[in-house]
């Protein structure tokens, strides 16, 4: 019987796109990422290359200068970036934040911003949702935007606003009606597309947070920051609903990254297990080494099917909350399990930075916490899919 030794799945969609992305990623080897990681620097050159090849504008319609591809194609782009050992963490936000502008922005907003985002002239990489005191309970957010003539005045604090120092625009979620004046906790929240160029020190204070990964995340303080009323996306008070479909897109897209991470670790583990000779034989000949790799391969293939299902439903404009959350859960777990297995396979060498395993292992852990924690995904499935009582 012929044996399947490749870690590449038999059927891969968007083959040409995969090859094109992999070609560009080939210019950014582990050494590039290792150096940035050591200095906590932003991958400007990589983001420029991704922009110039149009990959970051995959979801922007052709009329606005993008390629108008479905979510599935964008998910594949992120998967390949991570499968090749690169990281889209510095630039992936553009893919899911621009959807809110596209679906709910006015014709003027779309015409003004989308072509510039597509060309790279404007960077939309910051998404201000999380706040220090409210955590996963997004509807309780406290940042206020109060209408004053032709402006809104913003006050409050965001935390974990990634890439705010490397973005021109921010998609901001703020309360426009106080909590005690709304009937539903999801009401009274609005979405704004704000220009943060030159805002630092002028009503906005952005402070980097030192984290275990090179993610350029920050805390953002707003102190009487005035924004034009035209920054409002859609109707005032409906912002929470606008970002919900964007959040499904985000979960699916980032699942692509997790699949890519899982495949990266599996390939590295397989190669090393075949090459490393201990006790006179390749370590991969030992079942204690081989079977965990086989297991995470199966987990990754299963997660891949769920991601494809979620993409198909999203691209058919059907409700995909269950599938988006299950994609997030399964792909994040497959990636983390693959990271652990790869770490074990490399033995002590996993700790040596030059092998890139420890760096990817650190980076891969994030998917179990952000953009949504594992528990919160499970509570969604419990309540919305299985009909169990709301637990939070
Ligand atoms: C590197 C990084 C980058 C990020 N980037 C962004 C960004 O760009 N924009 C942005 O808005 N946010 C960002 N985040 C924030 C991220 O979305 C949150 O950290 C995440 O949603 C979890 O929220 P929290 O940290 O406040 O945890 P908490 O809500 O405080 O939860 C802590 C723990 O308790 C659990 N928990 C809480 N309530 C319940 C419950 N009812 N039932 C069961 N378990 C529960 C959670 O699952 C979690 O394990 C980022 C975070 C990190 C670490």
Q: Does domain 241-385 bear CATH number 1.20.140.10? A: yes
- Say what the pLDDT of residue 244 is: 86
Distance CA 6, CA 103 (A): 40
Question: How far apart are the CA of 373 and the centre of ligand 1, in A?
Answer: 6
State pLDDT tens for residues 54-87. 999 999 999 999 999 999 999 999 999 999 999 9
CATH 2.40.110.10 domain range(s) in the chain: 124-237
- Say what the pLDDT of residue 10 is: 47
Cβ atoms within 10 Å, residue 330: 22
Confirm or reject: Cβ of 138 under 6 Å from ligand 1: no
- Say what the pLDDT of residue 336 is: 98
Q: How many helices (H) and strands (E) does the chain have?
A: 11, 10
- Which residues of the chain are modeled with pLDDT < 70? 1-11
Question: How far apart are the CA of 52 and the centre of ligand 1, in A?
Answer: 33
Q: Which helix (H) or strand (E) holds 80?
A: helix 71-83
Confirm or reject: Cβ of 211 under 6 Å from ligand 1: yes
CATH topology of domain 124-237: Butyryl-CoA Dehydrogenase, subunit A; domain 2 (2.40.110)
Q: Is the dihedral of CA 323, 329, 335, 341 positive or negative?
A: negative
Index of the ligand 1 atom closest to the CA of residue 209: 1
- Say what the pLDDT of residue 2 is: 41
Question: How far apart are the CA of 372 and the centre of ligand 1, in A?
Answer: 6
CATH 1.10.540.10 domain range(s) in the chain: 15-119
- Characterise 54 by phi-psi region: left (phi > 0), alpha (psi -120 to 50), beta (else): left
Distance CA 309, CA 239 (A): 27
Index of the ligand 1 atom closest to the CA of residue 173: 11
Confirm or reject: Cβ of 357 under 6 Å from ligand 1: no
Are the CB atoms for 217 and 161 separated by under 8 Å?
A: yes
CA atoms within 13 A on the CB side of 356: 18
**What is the CA angle 31-36-39, rounded to 5?**
125
Confirm or reject: Cβ of 215 under 6 Å from ligand 1: yes
Question: How far apart are the CA of 23 and the centre of ligand 1, in A?
Answer: 35
- Say what the pLDDT of residue 11 is: 67
Are the CB atoms for 226 and 153 separated by under 8 Å?
A: yes
Task: Spell out the CATH class of 15-119.
Answer: mainly alpha
CATH 1.20.140.10 domain range(s) in the chain: 241-385
């Amino acid at each position: 019987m012929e044996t399947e030794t490749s870690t590449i799945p038999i059927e891969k969609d968007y083959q040409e796109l995969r090859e094109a992305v992999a070609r560009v990623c080939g210019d950014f080897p582990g050494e590039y990422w290792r150096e940035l990681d050591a200095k906590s620097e932003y991958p400007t050159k990589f983001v420029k290359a991704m922009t110039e090849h149009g990959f970051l504008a995959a979801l922007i319609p052709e009329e606005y200068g993008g390629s108008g591809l479905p979510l599935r194609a964008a998910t594949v782009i992120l998967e390949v970036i991570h499968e090749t050992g690169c990281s889209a963490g510095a630039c992936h936000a553009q893919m899911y934040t621009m959807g809110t502008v596209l679906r709910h922005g006015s014709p003027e907003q779309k015409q003004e911003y989308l072509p510039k985002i597509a060309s790279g002239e404007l960077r939309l990489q910051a998404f201000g949702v999380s706040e220090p005191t409210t955590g996963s309970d997004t509807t309780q957010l406290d940042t206020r935007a109060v209408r004053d003539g032709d402006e809104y005045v913003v006050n409050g604090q965001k935390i974990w606003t990634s890439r705010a120092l490397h973005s021109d625009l921010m998609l901001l979620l703020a309360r426009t009606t106080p909590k005690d004046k709304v009937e539903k906790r999801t009401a009274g929240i609005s979405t704004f597309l704000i220009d943060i160029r030159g805002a630092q020190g002028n009503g906005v204070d952005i402070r980097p947070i030192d984290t275990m990964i090179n993610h350029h995340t920050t805390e953002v303080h707003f102190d009487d920051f005035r924004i034009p009323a035209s920054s409002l996306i859609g109707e005032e008070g409906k912002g929470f609903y606008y970002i919900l479909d964007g959040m499904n897109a985000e979960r699916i897209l980032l699942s692509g990254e997790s699949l890519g991470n899982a495949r990266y670790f599996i390939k590295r583990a397989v190669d090393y297990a075949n090459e490393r000779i201990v006790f006179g034989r390749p370590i991969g000949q030992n079942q204690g080494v081989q079977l965990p790799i086989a297991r995470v391969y199966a987990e990754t293939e299963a997660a891949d099917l769920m991601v494809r299902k979620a993409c198909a439903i999203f691209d058919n404009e059907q409700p995909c909350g269950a599938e988006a959350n299950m994609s997030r859960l399964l792909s994040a777990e497959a990636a983390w399990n693959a990271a652990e297995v790869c770490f074990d396979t490399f033995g002590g060498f996993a700790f040596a930075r030059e092998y890139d395993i420890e760096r990817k292992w650190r980076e891969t852990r994030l998917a179990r916490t952000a953009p949504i924690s594992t528990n919160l995904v499970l509570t969604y499935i419990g309540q919305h899919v299985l009909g169990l009582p709301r637990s939070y």
